[in-house]
């Protein structure tokens, strides 16, 4: 069923007849500017459906008619066309038209054009689901605001109206009136009975038979009473058995519930353990990957070192072989060199002798040729010169030429001598340089050896430091893991403490810390929960005693608290209660001297300067052994008492108790936070010290590596320098050899120069001797004889010279060959072989052998350590995996146990239902026998015990005989009997009537009690339904939030400090009854954390959300086929408007389709609407047209921008 069409004419702003297009059976939205007629459109629908426009006065009727330009409207009507395809309205039609017409003097209803009364309309709507007790299927403007301002008792009245308690109250008033009438009748009956008793006493004196009759009648009543009483007793025993069975079944069900709850708790604990193990497994797997990578690297390094060692061994073996080969070749070359040198030593004297012979022969030839030349010249002077003077002139000229040549040779000789001296000096310098280089080479080789030793020492020191660093790394990793675990527990404890802390208080405490930090405010000591400590067994007592006072902040003086409150107000940073130490004083309390009652304050550990604040909170509370002791101490000593389980007894007499989940203990969370913080600080200091030591070790390792690199660079540099020095020695020897060659050539040239000088001087002497002699043209005989001898001598000497030259050349060639072989081949080969042997001997392979071996051993140890570590990790992973499997198995067992317990609970519930049905049957039987006993009237005391020991069968027989005996008195004196019987009957009738009146009075009292009970049950049932839907609706509207309704009873008022100021306790009503319930309170949390808030603590928008949640809850509790909402989202934030729109959409799309017609100025409801109508106003006349969603959204956007 839904509204299909609305037709309006003449109603308020709708002058001309307008008919809307067919409404959607789901979500419809109406938009329009202010004053356009949206609310009038809603009023038109309410005008037909609700009874608010009833009993209208003339001016009220006039206000409903259209007023505008033109002629006056005399009447108006609104017609609503319903789709009744589901036959919700009990009329056999698929479409129903309901019209209401109003004029200045008429107000009529029409159903399908047939006249119908208002009551018939209302009954018809009631039958379709429009409850008059629940008017919230139409929510007009202002309804939300009125709901937000409702007091607790007004919400209770609303629930009463919804629950239909008006019927119970009317019947109660009728019952009280009947009781008053019954009292008047009972007074009259008592007067008549007194009269009849007097008359019966008179008849009793006259009639003996009457006494016998009375005796028999009394016997009959006694028998009947005993029978009924036995039946009643049996019924009561069966009822007790049923009650025992119910109690046992209930206890069994409770035990099963407890087992289920314990299993769930164990399962949650196992889940936590499983999460921890999963995290540890993840960490171990990461460590395993790291260790596997380290193992791979270690194996690679070990393999590389093994290959290097093999290469090293091969190099050593190759070097040894090369050294042996070089030594063998050196011996061979040295032998060959000794042979060559020996041969050279043999050739040198011969060569020198041959050279001397050649020189002497050449000199002799030159002398003879010179004499021969002189003789020839002398022989030809006479022909050459004409006189002596010409000859002397020529001789002088020749002598001058020879002198110039001699001077030139003398200069050349001096140069050659200087060069020979220089070459000898160079040879001396080269020898000294070679000796110096040899000494330096020795020193460098010694230095290289020492560097190797120091390098090995540094290597061992570095290995030791690396071992220490590895140990420190292990300590660091362990400490870091422990710190992370403690931090995880710390964060969990902080999170749990935050959840246990009210939201506004949590924000306030956070704001205080920030304010004290930003504004450098001192004297803030923190909340009490951080300042107090005690044994764990007192945690529950302390927390229950303090309540929210645990989060009261202790400050040094009230000035500090005033300053902080000012900042809190400016920042809107939550709410906090402060305890200024300069304002509070610990109460003076006389504690009982008993071991069963211990002052709670004496069991707390705290700084003495906080004693006033803690005395204010805990000073009047004592811890008692049990509730009996607590009740006694509270009554005698006037103190608040609490047990270790958290059950409280107020000094005013109130008792509070029940289960307290110690696992959610705030003090335990705070203790965990404090202990973990201390442990973290301690371990972080140790970790910092370890890291400092690691830093020192790293520095030492770096220093050692630097020193090793320096030593390695030093010996490498020294080796290079040794090679350079050896090369310089080789080069110096080569230069010495070249100098020797040059020196030989210079000395030879010097000899030739000197020979030439002697020859020049001899020629000059001869020419000087010839000068002044006579010029002759012939030789003396001696000269001719000498001339003839000279030529043969010269010829002979030349032949000898040729022979000498040939021998000298041969010797010189052999000598040059030997010297060349020695200088360029053998000596160079020896130098090369000696250098090779020296390089092999000086090679660092032997010194590196230990290093390589040590590195290989270290690598093997590292591989072994990493392998052991990997095996340990694998074992740990296997153990953790087994633990995970074990936990999963335990969870499966717990799940099976939980399912088994739930099945047991279901069976117990079925049994309880059966026992409840049997109990009702027995109660009915008990009531029946009680009525029969009451029907016997008043009995004597003997009647109760006379036949008590008889069984039912015997009593039945006796009753039968007694009835037969009573029949014998039917023939006694009729008149006396008639009078007696008549009076007796009258009396009995009156007594029966009185008993009936009394019973009726009791019944009426029971009825009133039942009515009160049913009224309360109706209120409770309505409250439960509305409260249940309120929780669901609120959680849908406020994501992450939660809310609930609290029914306030009379006894709750003493403990409720949030009641409205003007909402005092209710007095007894006119019939003397005190109401059981005094109001309905709303408790909500928009964050889902911390304490809930009442309506007074909410903002305007939040109150609107709560009011909407209440409306939707009422609608869900008592659903209607369609709903009319007039701007319900006006005061909502976008997120809540979206939530409301989604909820309406969801309700409309539900399997039980519900129609919604809404008006709005916001886009959220438009977006979820299936059909949108625009209301337009022109010339004071409103019209309604269908518009598109885009048009509606554009209108809303323009309207919002215009408002902005």
**Fold of the 1-130+1127-1204 domain:** Rossmann fold (3.40.50)
pLDDT given at position 1017: 78
Q: Say which CATH topology domain 147-179+973-1119 has.
A: Glutathione S-transferase Yfyf (Class Pi); Chain A, domain 2 (1.20.1050)
Whether pLDDT at 664 is above 90: no
Give the range among 61-75, 322-336, 340-354, 685-699 with minimum mean pLDDT. 61-75
98-112, 330-344, 504-518: which range is least confident on average? 330-344
In the sheet that holds 524-527, the strands lie side by side as 524-527, 553-555, 578-580
Q: What percent of the chain has pLDDT over 90?
A: 8
Whether 1074 has a pLDDT exceeding 60, the answer reads no
Q: What is the mean pLDDT of residues 122-135?
A: 68
Give me the pLDDT at residue 81, please: 92
pLDDT at 68 over 70: no
Q: Are strands 1155-1159 and 27-32 parallel, antiparallel or unpaired?
A: parallel
pLDDT value of residue 1062:
45
Is the pLDDT score of 940 beyond 70? no
C-alpha dihedral, 905 to 907 to 911 to 917, nearest 10°: 100
| CA separation for the pair 716, 452 (Å, rounded) | 11
Q: Which two tokens stand for residue 103?
A: 């004029």
Going by pLDDT thresholds of 50, 70 and 90, the confidence category of residue 623 is very high
Give residue-wise pLDDT tens across range 420-459: 889 899 888 888 988 888 888 888 888 888 888 888 888 8
pLDDT at 25: 87
pLDDT 10s digits, 242-265: 888 878 877 777 777 777 777 877
- Taking 60 as the threshold, does the pLDDT of residue 784 lie above it? yes
* pLDDT for position 1060: 47
Q: What pLDDT, on a 0 to 100 scale, did the predictor assign at position 894?
A: 82
- Phi and psi at 535, nearest 5°, equal -65, 150
- Of 1021, 932, 1144, 1115, nearest in space to 168 by CA: 1021
pLDDT mean over 29-57: 81
Q: CA neighbours within 13 Å on the CB side: how many for 473?
A: 8
3-class SS of residue 1175: strand
Q: So what's the pLDDT on residue 1064? A: 46
Pairing assessment for the beta strands 578-580 and 553-555 based on DSSP bridges:
parallel
Decide which of 295 and 638 is more confident: 638
**Band of residue 47 on the pLDDT scale cut at 50, 70, 90:** confident
Which residues have a Cβ under 8 Å from the Cβ of 895 and sit 6 or more positions away? 263, 267
Q: To which H or E segment does residue 580 belong? A: strand 578-580
Instruction: Please tell me whether residue 1050 adopts helix, strand or coil conformation.
Output: helix
pLDDT tens digits, one per residue of 452-499:
888 888 888 888 888 888 888 888 888 888 888 888 888 888 888 888
Strand partners, 109: 100, 116
pLDDT, average across residues 203-218: 66
Q: What is the pLDDT of residue 262?
A: 78
pLDDT score at 1070? 44
Average pLDDT over residues 942-966: 74
For position 125, what pLDDT does the model report? 78
Weakest-pLDDT range from 122-131, 566-575, 1193-1202 = 122-131
Residue 602 CB coordination number (10 Å): 10
The answer to whether residue 511 scores a pLDDT higher than 70 is yes
Helix, strand or coil for residue 77?
Answer: strand
Output the six-digit token pair for 539: 């945690």
Work out the percent of the chain whose per-residue pLDDT is above 70: 89
Query: Among 126-135, 523-532, 1159-1168, where is mean pLDDT lowest?
Result: 126-135
Lowest mean pLDDT among 741-755, 777-791, 1089-1103: 777-791
Residue 73 has pLDDT above 60, yes or no: yes
Rounded distance between C-alpha atoms, residue 784 and residue 768, angstroms: 22
Whether residue 224 has pLDDT greater than 80: no
Per-residue pLDDT tens over the stretch 865-888: 878 878 888 888 888 888 888 888
Q: Are 718 and 447 in contact (CB under 8 A)?
A: yes
Per the model's pLDDT, the better-predicted residue between 834 and 546 turns out to be: 546
How far is the C-alpha of 881 from the C-alpha of 274, rounded, in Å? 10
> Residue 356 corresponds to which tokens in the numbers above?
């001397």
User: What number of other Cβ atoms are within 10 A of residue 153's Cβ?
Assistant: 21
Query: For residue 151, which phi and psi values (nearest 5 degrees)?
Result: -85, 170
The pLDDT, as a whole number, for residue 210 is: 58
Residue 1124 to residue 139: CA distance in whole angstroms: 6
Q: Assign 972 a pLDDT band (cuts: 50, 70, 90).
A: low
Tens-place pLDDT, residues 364-383: 777 777 777 777 666 666 66
pLDDT at 971 over 60: no
Write down the pLDDT at residue 777.
56
Residue 50 has pLDDT above 70, yes or no: yes
The rounded mean pLDDT for the chain is: 80
**Per-residue model confidence (pLDDT) at position 562:** 92
Report the largest interatomic distance among the alpha carbons of the chain, rounded to a whole angstrom. Answer: 247
Report pLDDT for 202. Answer: 66
Inter-axis angle of helices 388-500 and 845-935, nearest 10: 10
The reply to whether 497-679 shares the fold of 1-130+1127-1204 is no
Per DSSP, the chain holds a count of helices (H) and strands (E) of 25, 24
The average pLDDT across 1037-1051 equals 81
In CATH terms, the fold of domain 497-679 is Alpha-Beta Plaits (3.30.70)
Q: What are phi and psi of 22, to 5 degrees?
A: -55, 130
Is residue 579 pLDDT above 90, yes or no? yes
How far is residue 650's CA from residue 373's CA, in Å, rounded to a whole number? 166
Which of the two residues, 351 and 521, has the higher pLDDT score? 521
Distance CA 300, CA 306 (A): 10
Residue 580: what pLDDT?
A: 93
**In this predicted structure, what is the pLDDT of residue 1047?**
83
Instruction: Report pLDDT digits (tens) over 560-570.
Output: 999 999 888 88
Q: Which residue has the tokens 């609700």?
A: 50
According to the per-residue pLDDT averaged within each range, which of 541-555, 745-759, 1045-1059, 1154-1168 is highest? Answer: 541-555
What is residue 974's predicted lDDT score, i.e. its pLDDT? 38
What pLDDT, on a 0 to 100 scale, did the predictor assign at position 959?
A: 75
Where residue 1067 falls among pLDDT bands split at 50, 70, 90? very low
- Domain residue limits, the chain: 1-130+1127-1204, 147-179+973-1119, 497-679
pLDDT for the residue numbered 731: 85
């Amino acid at each position: 069923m839904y509204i299909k069409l609305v037709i309006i004419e003449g109603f308020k702003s709708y002058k001309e007849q307008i008919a809307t297009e067919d409404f959607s059976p789901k979500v419809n939205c109406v938009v329009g500017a202010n004053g356009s007629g949206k609310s009038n459109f809603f009023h038109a629908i309410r005008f037909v459906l609700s009874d608010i426009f009833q009993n209208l006065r003339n001016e009220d009727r006039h206000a409903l008619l259209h007023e505008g330009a033109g002629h006056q409207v005399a009447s108006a009507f609104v017609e609503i066309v319903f789709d009744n395809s589901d036959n919700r309205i009990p009329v056999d039609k698929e479409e129903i038209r309901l019209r209401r017409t109003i004029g200045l003097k008429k107000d009529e209803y029409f159903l399908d054009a047939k006249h119908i009364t208002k009551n018939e309309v209302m009954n018809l709507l009631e039958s379709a689901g429009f409850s008059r007790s629940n008017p919230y299927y139409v929510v007009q403007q202002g309804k939300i605001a009125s709901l937000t301002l409702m007091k607790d008792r007004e919400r209770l009245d609303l629930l009463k109206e919804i629950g239909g308690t008006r019927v119970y109250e009317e019947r109660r008033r009728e019952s009280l009136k009947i009781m008053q009438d019954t009292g008047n009748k009972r007074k009259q009956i008592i007067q008549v009975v007194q009269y009849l008793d007097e008359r019966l006493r008179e008849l009793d004196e006259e009639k003996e038979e009457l006494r016998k009759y009375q005796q028999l009648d009394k016997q009959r009543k006694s028998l009947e009473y005993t029978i009924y009483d036995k039946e009643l007793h049996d019924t009561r025993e069966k009822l007790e058995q049923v009650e025992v069975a119910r109690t046992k079944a209930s206890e069994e069900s409770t035990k099963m519930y407890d087992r289920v709850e314990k299993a769930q708790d164990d399962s949650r604990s196992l889940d936590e353990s499983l999460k921890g193990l999963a995290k540890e497994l993840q960490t171990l797997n990461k460590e395993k990957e790291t260790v596997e990578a380290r193992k791979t690297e270690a194996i690679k390094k070990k393999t590389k070192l093994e290959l290097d060692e093999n290469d090293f061994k091969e190099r050593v073996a190759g070097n040894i072989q090369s050294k042996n080969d070089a030594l063998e070749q050196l011996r061979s070359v040295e032998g060959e060199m000794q042979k060559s040198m020996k041969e050279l030593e043999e050739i040198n004297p011969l060569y020198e002798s041959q050279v001397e012979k050649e020189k002497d022969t050449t000199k002799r030839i030159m002398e003879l040729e010179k004499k021969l030349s002189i003789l020839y010249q002398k022989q030809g002077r006479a022909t050459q010169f004409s006189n002596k003077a010409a000859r002397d002139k020529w001789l002088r000229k020749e002598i001058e030429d020879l002198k110039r040549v001699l001077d030139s040779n003398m200069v050349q000789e001096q140069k050659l001598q200087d060069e020979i001296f220089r070459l000898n000096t160079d040879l001396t310098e080269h020898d000294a340089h070679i000796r110096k280089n040899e000494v330096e080479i020795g020193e460098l080789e010694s230095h290289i050896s020492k560097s190797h030793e120091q390098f090995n020492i540094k290597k061992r020191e570095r290995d030791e430091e690396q071992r220490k660093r590895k140990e420190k790394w292990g300590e660091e990793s362990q400490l870091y893991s422990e710190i992370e675990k403690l931090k995880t527990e710390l964060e969990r404890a902080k999170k749990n403490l935050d959840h246990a802390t009210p939201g506004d208080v949590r924000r306030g405490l956070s704001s205080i810390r920030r304010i004290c930090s930003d504004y450098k405010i001192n004297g803030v000591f923190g909340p009490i929960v951080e300042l107090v400590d005690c044994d764990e067994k007192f945690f529950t007592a302390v927390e229950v005693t303090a309540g929210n006072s645990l989060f009261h902040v202790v400050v040094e003086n009230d000035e500090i608290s005033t300053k902080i409150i000012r900042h809190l107000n400016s920042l809107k940073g939550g709410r906090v209660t402060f305890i200024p130490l300069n304002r509070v004083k610990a109460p003076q309390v006389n504690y009982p001297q008993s071991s069963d009652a211990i002052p709670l304050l004496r069991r707390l550990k705290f700084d003495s300067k906080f004693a006033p604040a803690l005395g204010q909170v805990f000073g009047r509370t004592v811890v008692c052994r049990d509730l009996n002791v607590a009740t006694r101490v509270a009554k005698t000593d006037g103190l608040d008492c609490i047990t270790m389980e958290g059950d409280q007894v107020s000094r005013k007499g109130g008792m509070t108790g029940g289960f307290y989940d110690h696992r959610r203990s705030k003090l335990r969370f705070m203790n965990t936070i404090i202990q973990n913080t201390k442990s973290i600080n301690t371990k972080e200091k140790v970790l910092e010290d370890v890291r400092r030591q690691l830093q020192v070790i790293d520095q030492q390792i770096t220093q050692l590596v630097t020193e090793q690199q320096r030593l390695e660079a030093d010996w490498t540099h020294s080796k290079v320098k040794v090679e350079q020095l050896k090369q310089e020695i080789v080069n110096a020897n080569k230069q010495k050899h070249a100098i020797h060659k040059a020196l030989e050539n210079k000395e030879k040239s010097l000899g030739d120069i000197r020979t030439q000088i002697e020859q020049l001087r001899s020629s000059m002497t001869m020419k000087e001797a010839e000068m002044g002699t006579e010029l002759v043209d012939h030789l003396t005989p001696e000269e001719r004889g000498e001339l003839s001898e000279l030529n043969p001598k010269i010829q002979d000497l030349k032949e000898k010279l040729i022979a000498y030259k040939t021998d000298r050349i041969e010797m010189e060639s052999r000598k040059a060959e030997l010297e060349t072989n020695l200088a360029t081949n053998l000596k160079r080969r020896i130098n090369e072989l000696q250098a090779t042997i020296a390089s092999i001997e000086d090679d660092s392979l032997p010194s590196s052998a230990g290093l390589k071996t040590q590195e290989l051993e270290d690598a093997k140890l590292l591989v072994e350590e990493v392998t052991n570590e990997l095996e340990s990790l694998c074992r740990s992973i296997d153990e953790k995996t087994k633990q995970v499997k074990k936990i999963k198995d335990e969870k499966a067992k717990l799940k099976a146990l939980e399912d088994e317990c739930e099945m047991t609970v279901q069976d117990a519930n079925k049994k309880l239902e059966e026992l409840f049905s049997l109990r009702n049957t027995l109660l009915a039987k008990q009531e029946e026998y009680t009525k029969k006993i009451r029907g016997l009237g008043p009995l004597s005391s003997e009647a109760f015990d006379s036949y008590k020991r008889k069984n039912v069968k015997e009593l039945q027989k006796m009753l039968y005989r007694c009835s037969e005996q009573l029949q014998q008195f039917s023939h006694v004196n009729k008149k006396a009997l008639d009078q007696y019987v008549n009076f007796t009957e009258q009396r009995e009738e009156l007594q029966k009537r009185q008993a009936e009146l009394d019973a009726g009075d009791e019944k009426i009292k029971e009825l009133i009690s039942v009515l009160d009970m049913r009224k309360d049950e109706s209120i409770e049932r309505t409250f439960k339904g509305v409260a249940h839907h309120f929780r669901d609706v609120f959680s849908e509207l406020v994501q992450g939030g939660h809310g609930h309704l609290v029914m306030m009873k009379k006894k709750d008022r003493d403990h409720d400090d949030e009641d409205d100021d003007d909402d005092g306790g209710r007095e007894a009503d006119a019939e003397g009854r005190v109401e059981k319930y005094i109001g309905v309170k709303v408790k909500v949390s928009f964050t889902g954390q911390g304490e809930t808030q009442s309506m007074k603590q909410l903002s305007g928008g939040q109150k609107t959300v709560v009011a909407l949640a209440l409306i939707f809850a009422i609608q869900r509790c008592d659903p209607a086929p369609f709903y009319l909402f007039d701007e319900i989202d006006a005061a909502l934030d976008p997120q809540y408007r979206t939530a409301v729109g989604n909820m309406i959409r969801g309700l409309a799309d539900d399997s039980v389709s519900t129609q919604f017609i809404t008006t709005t100025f916001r886009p959220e409801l438009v977006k979820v609407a299936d059909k949108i109508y625009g209301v337009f106003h022109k010339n004071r006349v409103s019209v309604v047209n269908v518009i598109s969603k885009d048009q509606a959204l554009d209108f809303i956007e323009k309207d919002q921008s215009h408002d902005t």
